[in-house]
């Protein structure tokens, strides 16, 4: 963990993890926080860090940090109206052409200099270019509504998790084992790189290296926020089923022994990439907190980052795989046919579907779930964010 910036005032960092379409859940949590704020323009998160789809939400917030509630409203509107063809091509021509290029590149070695993947994410680039005003980040930093915003991507050549950040000039870069922090002026290419799920979306070239999804090799997802000066963090996770560890052995025992489908295997791999490292990092941070509290402040070794870091985690109270399975009929017909063979349209393959289902029914249900889960921790959020006299919302911001 990074050594914290010494400050008498609490400095809150927001951690938005990756997870494709699952990141709609984060928007619901942010909508609840916006409703709790006594000042609609106030940004309660001086440090904002995102990875993969969480990077898009993070930069979306940072671009509008001068007017936090309005920024959340814009994010909510985009996610409520999401359709798959706004993220990747789902028409017959686009799917078949991308599949042909992928097979030709992977099996025949054709077009080796052109990065390819299973899906064409060019519509996402067009959407982000239209919706985001990156100049808002510099304005928010200049008016001290934002200390820093960061997104993490994975360098395929160096094998490092690179955190690109934009913020105050007083923030120094950092160099750790396989993770570095690089100051820059954030742009569209950084978001596309951070959100490029390996093999699913094509890698993105930044300077002289190709980058992909930042969750691929990010052993300490919380550490960038600490490097940027945060001394407490709100983590919004997208874990598929937080109650899985509490189920009995009989419930976890498979009912039928069948070979796993390709989608089922891919779902577990995606969970390992996007969820496991974050949960492990939270567990490590809590252990360090317990150890540091046993030592008096003057006894804590300097430079080891042993100052306690207050952590609040908000994660789905329902399994997102099951929600995705209920909405699998919303997937465009072309993709349903394309994904039927690997098993993604079956209940067992709903894990991978939960990352790719950018459709209104699924996204709106996740937004609603995030809002309700955040409001279930209303008192803790008010205390954690030092909010006073919060208004009581009368309308949930998601249509029934």
Residue 49 inside a domain? The answer is yes
- DSSP secondary structure, 339-383, as one string: HHTTTTTSGGGHHHHHHH---HHHHHHHHHHHHHHHHHTHHHHHH
Residue 301 inside a domain? The answer is yes
Catalytic member of 17, 35, 52, 321: 52
Tally Cβ neighbours within 10 Å of residue 129: 12
Residue 83 inside a domain? The answer is yes
Query: Both tokens of residue 20?
Result: 């494709």
Tally Cβ neighbours within 10 Å of residue 280: 13
Q: What pLDDT does 12 receive?
A: 95
Catalytic member of 213, 281, 321, 373: 213
Give the separation between CA 218 and CA 251, rounded to whole angstroms.
32
Active site residue 52: yes
Residue 349 inside a domain? The answer is no
- Asked if 13 and 234 touch (Cβ cutoff 8 Å), the reply is yes
176 membership: H or E segment, kind and range: strand 174-176
From first to last of its 400 residues, the chain has per-residue pLDDT tens of: 444 444 447 899 999 987 889 999 999 999 999 999 988 778 999 999 999 899 999 999 999 999 999 999 999 999 999 898 898 887 777 777 766 776 666 666 666 666 677 788 889 999 999 999 999 999 999 999 999 999 999 999 998 999 999 999 999 999 988 889 999 999 999 999 999 888 788 899 999 899 988 777 766 688 899 999 999 999 998 774 444 444 444 445 555 566 665 555 555 556 655 555 666 666 666 666 555 555 555 555 555 455 678 889 999 999 888 898 888 888 877 776 656 555 545 555 567 788 888 999 999 999 999 999 999 999 999 999 988 654 444 444 554 4
Query: Both tokens of residue 108?
Result: 């025949």
Which domain CATH number covers 44? 3.40.1090.10
Residue 135 inside a domain? The answer is yes
Q: What pLDDT does 265 receive?
A: 57
Active site residue 281: no
- Asked if 42 and 48 touch (Cβ cutoff 8 Å), the reply is no
Residue 4 inside a domain? The answer is no
Give the separation between CA 152 and CA 51, rounded to whole angstroms.
5
Give the separation between CA 120 and CA 387, rounded to whole angstroms.
43
Rounded to 5 degrees, φ, ψ at 182 are -125, 120
Residues contacting residue 299 through CB under 8 Å, at least 6 positions apart: none
Give the separation between CA 184 and CA 164, rounded to whole angstroms.
6
Residue 259 inside a domain? The answer is no
Residue 309 inside a domain? The answer is yes
Q: What is the tally of structural domains in the chain?
A: 1
Domain that holds residue 372: 12-104+115-242+267-321+359-385
């Amino acid at each position: 963990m990074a050594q914290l910036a010494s400050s008498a005032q609490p400095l809150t960092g927001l951690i938005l993890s990756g997870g494709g379409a699952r990141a709609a859940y984060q928007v619901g949590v942010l909508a609840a926080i916006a409703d709790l704020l006594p000042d609609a323009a106030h940004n309660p998160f001086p440090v904002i860090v995102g990875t993969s789809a969480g990077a898009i939400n993070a930069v979306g917030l940072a671009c509008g940090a001068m007017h936090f509630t309005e920024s959340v409203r814009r994010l909510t509107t985009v996610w409520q109206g999401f359709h798959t063809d706004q993220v990747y091509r789902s028409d017959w021509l686009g799917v078949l052409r991308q599949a042909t290029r992928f097979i030709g590149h992977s099996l025949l070695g054709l077009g080796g200099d052109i990065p390819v993947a299973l899906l064409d994410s060019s519509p996402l680039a067009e959407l982000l270019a239209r919706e985001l005003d990156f100049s808002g980040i510099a304005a928010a930093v200049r008016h001290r509504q934002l200390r820093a915003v960061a997104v993490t991507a994975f360098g395929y050549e160096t094998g490092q998790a690179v955190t690109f950040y934009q913020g105050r000039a007083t923030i120094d870069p950092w160099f750790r084992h396989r993770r570095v922090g690089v100051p820059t002026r954030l742009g569209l290419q950084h978001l596309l790189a951070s959100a490029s799920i390996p093999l699913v979306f094509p890698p993105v070239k930044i300077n002289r290296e190709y980058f992909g999804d930042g969750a691929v090799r990010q052993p300490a997802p919380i550490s960038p926020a600490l490097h940027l000066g945060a001394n407490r963090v709100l983590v919004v996770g997208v874990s598929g089923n937080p109650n899985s560890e509490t189920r009995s052995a009989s419930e976890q025992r498979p009912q039928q022994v069948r070979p796993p489908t390709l989608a089922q295997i891919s779902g577990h791999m995606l969970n390992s990439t996007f969820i496991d490292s974050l949960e492990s990092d939270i567990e490590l941070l809590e252990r360090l907190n317990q150890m540091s509290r046993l030592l008096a402040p003057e006894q804590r070794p300097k430079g080891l980052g042993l100052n306690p870091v207050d952590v609040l985690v908000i994660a789905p109270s329902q399994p997102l795989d099951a929600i995705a399975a209920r909405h699998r009929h919303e997937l465009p017909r072309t993709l349903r046919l394309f994904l039927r063979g690997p098993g993604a349209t079956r209940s067992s393959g709903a894990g991978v579907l939960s990352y790719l289902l950018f459709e209104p029914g699924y996204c709106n249900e996740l937004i609603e779930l995030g809002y309700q889960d955040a409001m279930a921790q209303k008192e803790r959020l008010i205390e954690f964010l030092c909010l006073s006299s919060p208004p009581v919302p009368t309308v949930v911001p998601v249509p029934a």
